[in-house]
Structure 1
């Protein structure tokens, strides 16, 4: 924890000032992987940076709301995050599967509607398609329930494997009225309109939010950035934070950010500094 960083944009400085001045009206929303938890080769081993939960626990009681918005199933994010029963996070909300699922710490209740029927059809077809494409060794599929993600990070040449698979997977998604969402060495098939921007917009409306901080690290966070930008255009202050990996920076996201920090440890420091300043 140290000096609070200064956003590089005027809109970001306005957003941060508003959050500090009106914390009880403010909402902090955060991605999970790459933002609260370091990116790891095996997503089942993903856990928050050790400084994240203490920083969140100190900040959350001073705010209107805190939400974690993730493509993971909500139940998985809660378990991996260690959120259930965490002191200071009694009013945390986890919006999983890009908002299709919801878990509230206050009730420990999980709401989970049925997935899009196309997901079951893709789930059945995907293994055979990857065999026919001779997907590079190390390519593997993560079943998120509401979405299916094909990862290339473990392949000998992750970027080449990613390029090789992108068009066939886009065709597969389209045949089942689904959408292919690209990320860092991951191609995710999910329903169109199921994104973090839609989830964030609905949550902020529900909260009657004023200032908002959103932090993310990958292309899937761009819709949430866009949601905050639309609010700013309407006169509602907001701060956009990009968690960067120096080796794999997502240029499009960092270019749009008001403030960049280095990885989940940088996010934890930022949250702790805001809590201390408030």
Structure 2
């Protein structure tokens, strides 16, 4: 496996920037609600949005309303729930109806978590996350339950870092990038997608297919990304350097 070079600051010239959130802009926390957003993140996002021709959008597995609260006072387009809900900068959200199958999967996941201390159920608008960071030994049982529920209720199964998620099928982060790139403000730019998890691979692939680039955050691995940085701090330093170069 050949390691990837770090992205140059010039990569964002004539670009639209798409950023994952957890593990990319902020460190992953033990629980989703324990994440800490650095004081400089929102101002940096606002500077980038003003400097980039295609602006900045957040593309996250979190629900839109959570991301909006975490990046405030910055107001940005946000694709939440792995692209199943998309909010324009004015806050208007386009999203499908929540299927009843998710409520069934949610109930089964809560029963499982009650029997496996350290696991955590996350109820999302269009998904159910079952985290096992607090109980690594439960990983195989978590995966088995998720596979069973996905097959029984026609849900998409998504693996992540110490989490499995059951969600409505039909969208991923790559589809979100394609949808957002069709907007007039971005149609003459190239997409750059930055993310850390396997859930971000669809975003990398979509960006590269449209003539742009993907930036992997974290250790080297097989990926569709074209550049790599080591950690969240490196992401923020690179974005700051790129912003300075464009202003």
Q: Which residue of 46, 65, 76 corresponds with 1:57?
A: 46
The Cα offsets for residues 30-71 of structure 1, whole Å up to 9 and x where unpaired, read as 001111111011211223333322322222112222110111
**Which runs of 5 or more residues in structure 1 are unaligned?**
1-6
Runs of 4+ in 1 over 4 A off after TM superposition: none
In 2, distance between residues paired with 1:199 and 1:128? 32
Report the counterpart of residue 100 of structure 1 in structure 2: 84
Matches within 5 A, 1:1-278: 8=5, 17=10, 19-20=12-13, 23=14, 26-63=15-52, 64-82=54-72, 84=73, 86=74, 89=75, 92-105=76-89, 107-130=90-113, 134-135=115-116, 137-155=117-135, 158=136, 160-206=137-183, 207-231=186-210, 236=211, 238-244=212-218, 249=219, 251-253=221-223, 256-278=224-246
**Shift of residue 17, structure 1, vs aligned partner:** 4.9
The alignment's TM-score, normalised by the length of structure 2, stands at 0.87
Equivalent residues of 1:197, 1:224 under 8 A apart: yes
Check 1:250–1:28 CA distance in 2 against 1; reply closer, same or farther (3 A cut).
same
Unmatched segments (≥5 aa) in structure 2: none
Contact 1:162 1:187 in 2 (8 A): no
